[in-house]
Amino acid sequence: MLFVNLAVRDLDASIRFFRALGFEFNPKFTDESATCMIVSEQAYVMLLVEPRFADFTTKPIADPAKSTEALYCVSAASREEVDSFADAALAAGGTPAKEPQDFGFMYGRSFHDLDGHHWEVMWMDPQAAEQGPEEYAAQQQSA
């Protein structure tokens, strides 16, 4: 299982934002300082208000509006789902991070959430994912 922890300024606003993207939350791990966002059966994002997040580190908390601490990527089942997800993020108050990237076998868009965390949503052709991009490209050129 994977748990990613993110510092947020306003937990309620973050919950509304991510709920608008279709995420659900585990109420058993939710209180006034944190919530557990369910990404999949094996991946979760703990949204922690900054003072609670600080309990887990000895370093200063990075300001994601000024620097990138990580890129968080979720997969989509199709190119259309990429656009739908990214459009929902922007409609819910997110901001564009980069221009869409289209490599033919892979398509993605990115946005910043309300706190400035950089999120990516991407689709990859299942055959390219199985074979690897270089082998897939070589196969496409010879076809």
Cα separation, 88 vs 121, in Å, equals 12
CA distance 24 to 80: 21
Residue-level pLDDT at 136: 66
Helix, strand or coil, per DSSP, at residue 138 = helix
Secondary structure (3-state) at 27: helix
Kind plus residue range of the DSSP H or E element containing 133: helix 133-142
Q: For residue 134, give the H/E element and its range.
A: helix 133-142
pLDDT at 143: 65
pLDDT at 98: 95
Please tell me the predicted confidence (pLDDT) of residue 130: 78
Q: Provide the pairing of β-strand 43-49 with 34-38.
A: antiparallel
Rounded Cα distance between 28 and 53, Å, is: 18
**Quick check: 47 and 11 in contact, CB under 8 A?**
yes
Average pLDDT, the chain: 93
- Per-residue pLDDT for 133 more than 70? no
- The three-point CA angle 74-95-20 to 5° equals 60
Q: Which residue has the tokens 């892979």?
A: 106
Least confident of 61-65, 81-85, 87-91: 61-65
The answer on pLDDT for 63 being more than 80 is yes
pLDDT at 134: 72
User: pLDDT at residue 141 above 90?
Assistant: no
Q: What is the mean pLDDT of residues 79-108?
A: 96
Is the pLDDT confidence value at 111 over 80?
yes
pLDDT reported for residue 129 = 72
